[in-house]
């Protein structure tokens, strides 16, 4: 077995996850590009292999324990034991509280929180065995509260508590856990929000940029850079932290 480190990035068919997967591959890791549909991962995988990196596509629903177990076994067989995990898969089901259905609540909590729990649980054994690991969880500025996102903001605040607990439990095994809380990042997720509120995406981005201190919206590469830092060897003394990557301060 090679000594190349193995990473799993969930929700990596597109958007932030694809950006993180490409960056970790460029950093020298073998990357399992995991998403609901393995076929949808083809673009990310070929971008990585085209640049001389190593990647495989893995289909799994992170909210389902059996699906996650099978996916992690596949990664172990094809790439080796995963010691870097980026819990990025996510969905939106926005609505004001009085209109939000129980299904919309459960779906969002299921992908973000149960998904991160399932993935972390399935991967931690490999990290503990290796005496080294890095878990990076995607939170959001919505963790601070956001109109129309009772489900999503609860999930993203939950990701922060989950991260801190993993840091406390797994630190003794050489495993760190940290969270990235992005602000506005231009992806299909934010494009879908623009469509839902009936604003052209370019106008939506322009309005958002005007409110951001650095006067631009974010890119998947901005998040990938932070994930690369958390996953790095040198970040071993950084654990249980939340970095807001939002073009300005948040609290
Ligand atoms: P995106 O473009 O919608 O990509 C999310 C990916 O996750 C999609 O490929 C989606 O697959 C996949 N996915 C959804 N449910 C899944 C499941 N159950 N199992 C496996 N994969 C699943 O979103 P993004 O903007 O890149 O966001 C990535 C992460 O960053 C999310 O956690 C999001 O909440 C967070 N975030 C984003 C922003 C932003 O401004 N974009 C800001 C803060 C935080 P399908 O296409 O098949 O649904």
Does the Cβ of 61 fall within 6 Å of ligand 1? yes
Does the Cβ of 217 fall within 6 Å of ligand 1? no
- Check if the beta carbon of residue 24 is closer than 8 Å to that of residue 231: yes
What average pLDDT does this structure show over 74-96? Answer: 98
Distance (Å, whole) CA 138 – CA 116: 9
Buried b (16+ CB within 10 A) or exposed e, 31-51: bbbbbbebeebeebbebbeee
Domains and CATH numbers, the chain: 6-183+220-244 (3.40.50.720), 186-217 (no CATH)
Which pLDDT belongs to residue 28?
98
- Check if the beta carbon of residue 104 is closer than 8 Å to that of residue 56: no
Q: What is the pLDDT of residues 169-216, one digit of tens each?
A: 999 999 999 999 999 999 999 999 999 999 999 999 999 999 999 999
Mean pLDDT of the chain: 98
Gap from CA of 11 to ligand 1 centroid (Å):
6
Q: What is the pLDDT of residues 117-127, one digit of tens each?
A: 999 999 999 99
Does the Cβ of 189 fall within 6 Å of ligand 1? yes
Is there a catalytic annotation at residue 244? no
28 CB neighbour count, 10 Å cutoff: 10
Which pLDDT belongs to residue 225?
98
**Helix/strand/coil for 87:** strand
Gap from CA of 236 to ligand 1 centroid (Å):
27
Give the pLDDT band of residue 32 (cuts 50, 70, 90). Answer: very high
Percent of the chain exceeding pLDDT 70 equals 99
Handedness of CA 143, 146, 149, 151 (dihedral sign): positive
In sequence order, which ranges of 79-219 are alpha helices (DSSP H)?
Answer: 102-109, 115-130, 150-170, 188-196, 201-210
Q: What is the pLDDT of residues 211-235, one digit of tens each?
A: 999 999 999 999 999 999 999 999 9
Which pLDDT belongs to residue 251?
79
């Amino acid at each position: 077995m090679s000594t190349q480190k193995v990473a799993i990035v969930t929700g990596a068919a597109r958007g932030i996850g694809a950006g993180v997967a490409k960056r970790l591959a460029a950093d020298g890791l073998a990357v399992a590009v995991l998403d609901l549909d393995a076929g949808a991962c083809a673009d990310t995988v070929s971008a990585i292999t085209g640049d001389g990196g190593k990647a495989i596509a893995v289909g799994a629903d992170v909210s389902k324990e059996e699906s996650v177990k099978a996916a992690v076994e596949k990664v172990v067989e094809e790439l080796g034991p995963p010691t870097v995990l980026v819990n990025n898969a996510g969905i939106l089901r926005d609505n004001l509280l009085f209109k939000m259905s129980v299904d919309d609540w459960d779906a969002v909590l299921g992908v973000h929180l149960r998904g991160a729990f399932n993935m972390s649980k399935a991967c931690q054994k490999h990290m503990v065995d290796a005496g080294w690991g890095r878990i990076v969880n995607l939170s959001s500025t919505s963790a601070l509260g956001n109109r129309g996102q009772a489900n999503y903001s609860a999930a993203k605040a939950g990701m922060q508590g989950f991260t801190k607990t993993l840091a406390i439990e797994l630190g003794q095994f050489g495993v760190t856990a940290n969270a990235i809380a992005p602000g506005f990042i231009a992806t299909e997720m934010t494009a879908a929000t623009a469509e839902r509120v009936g604003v052209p995406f370019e106008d939506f981005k322009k309005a958002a940029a005007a409110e951001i201190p650095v006067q631009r919206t974010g890119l998947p590469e901005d998040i990938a850079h932070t994930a690369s830092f958390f996953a790095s060897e040198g970040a071993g003394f950084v654990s249980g932290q939340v970095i807001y990557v939002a073009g300005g301060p948040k609290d």
